[in-house]
Structure 1
């Protein structure tokens, strides 16, 4: 099967809990966080030497977009590296604020909703052939994405309202979707965004932009999220029969499913009977298995994805979530909240539980609740820490990200003024020699050697230097310490943001 390029963009929630002083508002806090970025790249929108993009998004949300990956584990590693890079920036901000007389702590949260009901996203990108029939794609993909939350939702403790009591939901993002398909992103959030920006050869490729997903802390959940979506896309692209699960009301369905943790909520299928999310996902899983039997597995994690997919559906259908409480974000968090509530005699909407819901997503390696659970072996992992640390400074080696990373590191180490985006690579004093890389799967190109050769003899010298020295020269945003994790009783709960 053909290789696919993936990427994910993560917006982070930020808050400052002041000591003696009132916490700084998000816009001022964001300026502190991006001070090193501005100093390093003279912009709040930069590409860094691991070939990922770091920028400040609308609403004062720091955002990290992974480099292009054609391997699911590379994608997860790049995403996890983004958490650590952002954490490093948050710690630098906290130190700078202390020097300016602002005490307290900076919290960086990889979640999707704050206590005021504002939402920020985790956007998936999948390269698909330009020839893919978009109507067929949306007809199949929308039901999959609407029901996917029972597999890979982050989980959310929903506060009580005048109409409903506090309760637990599968997804943080589901309540903030307003259309099935649209070119909008913030004004009227769709499940699938149709803005046609392929960042590649537009005659050959299209970038499928999915903005319905929850940010995941669990590496296993991430593997299922991207892997199952990739399998469904491959079935669509191959033109095989997938079944008719088109929903009559996708937006009503996504909310209805999210708020029924029993998994028994039914939704109306346009050309058939009412079905549960488990019914729809089970049908798609069966067809995906048949597709792989007939066409072969396209990567080493396919069987693991099938096993996770099936085990999660069985857990939801049975109401016994114990089999996925190490692997799936919403189930890990639900178990944690239940345990704390039972030990403390707390009601469902107690503020301590709401704070714990937030603290689960704190990216601080020694304080964040998920990271503390991981340190004590209470959740499953996919990657060795060394692979994540490498991804902080090294781009994926099998896509054009390798070329972008090499260009950035070399130009920066030699003090050469340069500009770069997903496609273009330019030395400022040689604008006519700009390099355009329109193939995301191209990991080697002699044109880059030609361009870098224009920097002079030091390029060859740089190649021969020790890798660690090159990293130190090229990546001031790399971590300044090795992190060890605290015991569960040591974590501090962030305030509601």
Structure 2
């Protein structure tokens, strides 16, 4: 059994212009992307993305939504020359998405690598803010998911799984995990309700914005399970699970467990090991019950009549994993995830506040409770909301999380060196290696790229390199071809291999 599979994270960053609440977020997001690209000698045009294989309206339930019925936000395959887009040398995509700058990490093969490349995105955004600081009043970014005033934006996870896994089984057996894992993946939020209309503190920033159990939408009528069937890979072999219900995590342990626990559950589902044993009676109600209870003692009802807390639900998944591991064995990546999972679940079970070094929502709550005790603040105090936002500020000197981490109050799993290296270099064991290397070595010749293609000019006109297998075209397979200076020779060598 393993947590290893092709995965990645895409994060829309909150954006603001100090003193200018009326500033156009699309324009300012474009400035973020364009300025960073210009600094690194990359082209930032929407045409830099290859949309030919994208199918955002294909539904995993077996149909395709008519284009005329789709909301404009769902038409992610429509080119808009006004929006900035760039493919980075690390294989990631930096672009404007729904009025936010978004960093989509390159595809990787382990939860830990996903954490490293997600943190690389934080450095990309931090540098963009620094580059724009000399253009008063400047632009600032936040790695969060809501502005506390009714707006929410996404952090989406992506996991490749076997196409022959029935999607109905995925919905049935993954929904309870998404409800329960909030106690690990939540980023914390001051305020209850979509508009923070009720005072209080909750575990996640996104729970109050979900209105459906299953659906194709991502920006409205948000579902717990998203049904977009767009694998960006061989559709006969793979399905890509597009997860929209997570929070943006800054803490390494929370991020590692978000990815590792979900991948572990998918392995169980592929093997049909869950079999509906943890099905919830009302998932949407349970979602809010868990998020609104920082004590982690609230119970949710299962269809078999049992009532379990979120922590108890996660222990149930852990027990299923243990049985599977006894039969199939493990590996170092899985052992790392399970080691942290066992430790964190034990902490949450004993006293949630003891997990403050590992989980964002607990670290933030501990900080806010300190201010509340010192200054007698109620949860309706606007100063607490300001601290909530400041927690995710990307600026090293201003971000509250950054200060906590520097002070050793948050556990770090990654190193600064490997994260900085990941800003420039792509993963060596996926097709992101070829994508990133072509951008780095031949930036003027890369006309467009996508997750499963790179289009080059100067090869008798243009050549499109298809990359339907995410685990192919890594460093070992492409090293010899990339040594050629001539693009035609590179394309010929890749074709021969």
TM-score (norm. length: structure 1): 0.84
Whether contact under 8 Å (1:435, 1:448) holds in the other structure is no
Deviation larger for 380-389 or 183-192:
183-192
Q: What secondary structure sits across from 2:470 in the alignment?
A: coil
Gaps of 5+ in 1: 460-497
Offset of residue 268 of structure 1:
2.3
Partner of 2:466: 436
Distance 1:448 1:270, change over 3 A: farther
Whether contact under 8 Å (2:190, 2:196) holds in the other structure is no
Deviation larger for 24-33 or 359-368:
24-33
- Asked if 1:46 corresponds to 2:86, the answer is yes
Whether contact under 8 Å (2:296, 2:348) holds in the other structure is yes
Q: What secondary structure sits across from 1:113 in the alignment?
A: coil
- Asked if 1:120 corresponds to 2:122, the answer is no
| Candidates 345, 362, 383, aligned match of 1:313 | 345
Quick one: distance in 1 between partners of 2:35 and 2:176? 43
TM-score (norm. length: structure 2): 0.84
Offset of residue 248 of structure 1:
1.9
Partner of 1:17: 18
Offset of residue 387 of structure 1:
0.3
Quick one: distance in 2 between partners of 1:378 and 1:340? 17
Distance 1:22 1:54, change over 3 A: closer
Whether contact under 8 Å (2:36, 2:131) holds in the other structure is no
Q: Trace 1:302-381 onto structure 2 (pairs within 5 A).
A: 302-318=334-350, 320-381=351-412
Q: Trace 1:195-274 onto structure 2 (pairs within 5 A).
A: 195-241=228-274, 244-274=277-307
Whether contact under 8 Å (2:448, 2:454) holds in the other structure is yes
Q: Trace 1:27-66 onto structure 2 (pairs within 5 A).
A: 27-36=26-35, 39=38, 40-43=42-45, 44-58=84-98, 60-66=99-105
Distance 1:184 1:22, change over 3 A: closer
Offset of residue 450 of structure 1:
7.8
Offset of residue 235 of structure 1:
1.0
Offset of residue 108 of structure 1:
0.7
CA distances 1:430-451 after superposition (whole Å, capped 9, x unpaired): 3563211111001144598289
Whether contact under 8 Å (2:9, 2:155) holds in the other structure is yes
Distance 1:25 1:236, change over 3 A: same
CA distances 1:253-278 after superposition (whole Å, capped 9, x unpaired): 10121112222322221233233222
Whether contact under 8 Å (2:26, 2:96) holds in the other structure is no
- Asked if 1:405 corresponds to 2:436, the answer is yes
Offset of residue 162 of structure 1:
12
| Candidates 429, 441, 447, aligned match of 1:418 | 447
| Candidates 183, 203, 211, aligned match of 1:170 | 203
Quick one: distance in 2 between partners of 1:438 and 1:34? 27
Quick one: distance in 1 between partners of 2:230 and 2:483? 26
Q: What secondary structure sits across from 2:308 in the alignment?
A: strand
Offset of residue 279 of structure 1:
2.4
Aligned residues between the structures: 446
Partner of 2:426: 395
Offset of residue 139 of structure 1:
0.8
Quick one: distance in 1 between partners of 2:230 and 2:391? 34
Partner of 1:7: 8
Partner of 1:384: 415
| Candidates 258, 263, 287, aligned match of 2:320 | 287
* CA RMSD, 1 decimal: 2.6
Gaps of 5+ in 2: 46-83, 492-497
Whether contact under 8 Å (2:149, 2:195) holds in the other structure is no
Deviation larger for 381-390 or 232-241:
232-241
Q: What secondary structure sits across from 1:208 in the alignment?
A: strand
